[in-house]
Amino acid sequence: MASQATCDKCNGPGYATPRDAMKLAPREKIVYLPCIQPQAGKRDYLATVCVDPNSSDYGKVIHRLYTLHDNDELHHSGWNTCASCYGNPAARRTKLILPCLGSSRIYVIDTTEERAPKIHAVVEPSEMKALGCSRPHTNHCMKNGDVLVSTLGDENDSNKGSFVVLDGKTWKLKGTWGDQTVKYSYDFWYQYRENTLISTEWGKPSSFWKGLDPALVKTDYGSDLHVWDFNKREYQYKIELGDDGRMPLEIRFLHDPTKSEGFVGCAFGSTVYRFFRNAMGQYQAEKVISVEEKKVEGWMLPVMPGIITDILLSMDDRFLYFSNWVQGDLRQYDISDTRNPKLVGRLFLGGSMTTDSKVKTINDLEPQPNPVYVKGRKLYGGPQMVQLSLDGKRLYLTDSLVSPWDKQFYPDMVKNGCVLLQVDCDTEKGGLTLNKNFLTDFGKEPDGPVLAHEIRYPGGDCTSDIYLPPEMREAIDAE
């Protein structure tokens, strides 16, 4: 059987096209998740979880790789190579990059032994701060084998949106990606054919690291998208989303590398915007989904937004999924018409307004959701990070956002630990069904309950692979 890190029909990592990934990829057998320790004096770790229903280890943590320091706060992750390197037989997807949002450290993990990864290299905070950067967040590989990492702060931990380049051979920082910076940063995605990178905004590290203060939303958090020339590494312009687009977090171009459009989820705005290149050649954005605020009693505000924290697109660009972390529902939209997404699946998986909470909705036509139990285990948080199987049939999710916000919004989740869940997805007409036979309970870990975050497959996934357009692929194949 072919390794999950490569495939038996290719000569390089991943697959030539998103459609090939859907058709040829084997079912995922394991997943990697950063696990964050909410207790001082205990270290984070990378958990390897078995998701093979034919295994006796199904749903179990089969390996834990601990970090080398306290208070790292592992967060997002990404691969050293992806589908953009397809066709390069020397490129191997065997290094998982783990930036630490808390310490500004970056761990490079060797996953050659997929079920027992090891630490390969470490970029120390001092190396990051020597470049005037801190708080590394998102990373994507580039087709030359280097890794691009977004950073949210400067050397003094004040807000500064920038990027650093990690050498894909030496695992040392090469420097910053260009000389220009923006006010805020967070996620990013790029599209080779359009020579475009678009980045998003969270806010000031001094603010978001203390939890969410609603009074600071308009002053300390962003609402813009930033458009960059990818080859020249130059800033071009911003797209202002306004208050409805406050806290634009996760951004996704369509997987089809010939398309110049995509979507971004805005957390506090509880909206999804479609961005696209217009007739003048400029990118602009339009709001295509809005989650209705709930009038409530017993919560931090008189209205409760959805708080969209993660989004992704199926490999065929047919469905968009996102999580409403606070209201507690997972949603599936048919985006066959990208300008008019159609809600086709919705599933409540906890959240802040369940019937057993202190929150009461007011004059709401929709009844409050009941608490959710899986294998007798209550879900204390709301759906947060999501990952879809390459064939689009299974969606995995966790419920931790970042530890200061977890402690503020879901103290019971912090006390009892996070979970990894699986949801089955109807890929024909749409629809979501919770798989009640699968559960990884991170409340029963050896060192106490932990906060599980982003999900990765060894063979690449819907939020790590970036594809080349046909003409670029043909040029590589001809070499």
Alpha carbon distance 378, 165 (integer Å):
42
Q: Which long-range contacts (CB under 8 A, 24 or more apart) does 46-51 make?
A: 46/74, 46/96, 46/98, 46/109, 46/117, 47/442, 47/452, 48/114, 48/115, 48/116, 48/117, 49/420, 49/440, 51/396, 51/422, 51/438
pTM over 0.75: yes
State which amino acid sits at residue 222. G
pLDDT > 70: percent of the chain: 96
Alpha carbon distance 300, 150 (integer Å):
31
Tokens 């970090």 -> residue: 67
pLDDT > 90: percent of the chain: 90
Alpha carbon distance 251, 228 (integer Å):
14
CA-to-CA separations, 231 to 178, 192, 228, 237, 342, in angstroms, rounded: 10, 9, 9, 15, 36
Three-class secondary structure of residue 253 per DSSP: strand
pLDDT digits (tens, 9 = 90+) for 166-184: 999 999 999 999 999 999 9
Find residue 226's DSSP bridge partners: 199, 238
pLDDT digits (tens, 9 = 90+) for 214-250: 999 999 999 999 999 999 999 999 999 999 999 999 9
**Mean pLDDT score of the chain:** 95
Q: Is the pLDDT of residue 2 over 80?
A: no
pLDDT digits (tens, 9 = 90+) for 303-346: 999 999 999 999 999 999 999 999 999 999 999 999 999 999 99
Token pair for 214: 């609603």
pLDDT digits (tens, 9 = 90+) for 201-217: 999 999 999 999 999 99
Report all structural domains of the chain as residue ranges with CATH numbers, in order of start: 18-478 (2.130.10.10)
Q: How many CB atoms lie within 10 A of CB 19?
A: 15
Q: Tell me the DSSP string of 112-167.
A: SSTTS-EEEEEE-HHHHHTTT-EEEEEEEE-TTS-EEEEEEE-TTS-EEEEEEEE-
Single out the residue of 191, 192, 342 nearest to residue 275, CA to CA: 191
| C-beta separation of 87 from 71 below 8 A | no
How much is the pLDDT for 479?
52
Alpha carbon distance 331, 431 (integer Å):
9
Q: Compute the average pLDDT of residues 256-279.
A: 97
